[in-house]
Amino acid sequence: MKPGMVPPPLGEESQIVVLPPGWQSYLSPQGRRYYVNTATNETTWERPGSSPGIPASPGPHRSSLPPTVNGYHVAGTPAHPPETAHMSVRKSTGDSQNLGSSSPSKKHSKENTITINCVTFPHPDTMPEQQLLKPTEWSYCDYFWADKKDPQGNGTVAGFELLLQKQLKGKQMQKEMSEFIRERIKIEEEYAKNLAKLSQNSLAAQEEGSLGEAWAQVKKSLADEAEVHLKFSAKLHSEVEKPLMNFRENFKKDMKKCDHHIADLRKQLVSRYAAVEKARKALTERQRDLEMKTQQLEIKLSNKTEEDIKKARRKSTQAGDDLMRCVDLYNQAQSKWFEEMVTTTLELERLEVERVEMIRQHLCQYTQLRHETDMFNQSTVEPVDQLLRKVDPAKDRELWVREHKTGNIRPVDMEI
């Protein structure tokens, strides 16, 4: 009702006056009668003139309400088109008007709003682009409020479900990375085992001299290399694989907590939205019944008494009160869901950043261990290089001759 408009005088509703064409009377939940022009959707507290040429009361009140964002009627609050994945929502900083306003006006036009998952968004044609909560970042809290069309065309997926799918995919990738490191460890262990076994092989063990000494060092270097790879596999397990698995388990618990919390709030929101719609229908039925009885009394088509009218009015008022209570509960659930949605999306964002950073650090640890392994492997062949440079065929021949000579007397020709 516009400022300065006063309620109708007591007893006005009992006056027998036929309404002009296109006008209907209703009763607000507080028991106050108002009138609606079905052609223009205008409402007024004052009874329109019944005779031709008498204009309706001045100062009609339009029935449309301010656009809503997540159930809050916020004048001037913009929003992205809900059919895109880049939906963002900002909570109202001022007083919000309830979903089912009890003022003498019809429900806001469906053309001005869109309801997604029991949450009301402004229609994209009615509002400019919504300001972001974190405008300088591609933050989860700004882009996952609406639904996204399934690429296969099998319906839509809620924005929060997309976030959960992203996190679950990240958890799966982390599991597969752990399995990859586990396979790498197995390869290292098997490689070390084979190197140690080969180092004990007796092939060419009879080689002597400086070449034999170098050959023995070659075999010993295999045993040293096997030990290096065993240590590498042990460090991979303790410093890379195990931390990845432990983080995955904690990540899984955090994900489940976020998922269940938002799911419970969503169920509560859906339940209370349904209660609002049920109460709204009940109020409409009560008002229709009251209107019918009142019109019958006004044109004397029924023997209904004033007591019947009062009874119907009390039922209509009660239905209005029930609607207001349901709306209050819905708005409470809506407010809680909004706050938790922002908090939870930021928490999922934090978990994803933490996951990526943790994996990066442990992969860096993997490369560092790999470099160290290469360095130690190189150290195992350095003694081999040194001995190979000292191999001297002349010296080997001398050493062999000294050990195995049979005498230095040469044969001579016999004389007859």
pLDDT one-digit tens code per residue, 216-227: 999 999 999 999
Say if residue 318 is exposed, middle or buried (CB neighbours under 10 Å; 0-12, 13-18, 19+): middle
Do residues 24 and 35 touch, judged by C-beta distance below 8 A? yes
Q: CATH topology for 159-398?
A: Substrate Binding Domain Of Dnak; Chain:A; Domain 2 (1.20.1270)
Interval 176-189 mean pLDDT: 94
Choice between 349 and 93, residue whose per-residue pLDDT is larger? 349
**pLDDT given at position 199:** 94
The full set of domain ranges for the chain reads: 159-398
Per-residue pLDDT of 51-79, as tens digits, reads: 444 344 333 333 333 333 333 333 333 33
**pLDDT given at position 397:** 92
Do residues 223 and 194 touch, judged by C-beta distance below 8 A? no
- The pLDDT-based confidence of 416 (bands split at 50, 70, 90) is low
Do residues 192 and 376 touch, judged by C-beta distance below 8 A? no
Which of the 8 DSSP states describes residue 127?
Answer: S
Choice between 287 and 76, residue whose per-residue pLDDT is larger? 287
Choice between 66 and 40, residue whose per-residue pLDDT is larger? 40
Choice between 140 and 32, residue whose per-residue pLDDT is larger? 140
Task: Give CA separation, 176 vs 69, 160, 184, 244, in Å.
Answer: 41, 24, 12, 10
Interval 131-142 mean pLDDT: 86
Which of the 8 DSSP states describes residue 23?
Answer: E
- The pLDDT-based confidence of 300 (bands split at 50, 70, 90) is low
Interval 2-17 mean pLDDT: 41
Choice between 328 and 52, residue whose per-residue pLDDT is larger? 328
Determine phi and psi for 155, rounding to 5 degrees: 115, -155
Interval 293-301 mean pLDDT: 71
- The reported pTM is 0.59
**pLDDT given at position 385:** 92
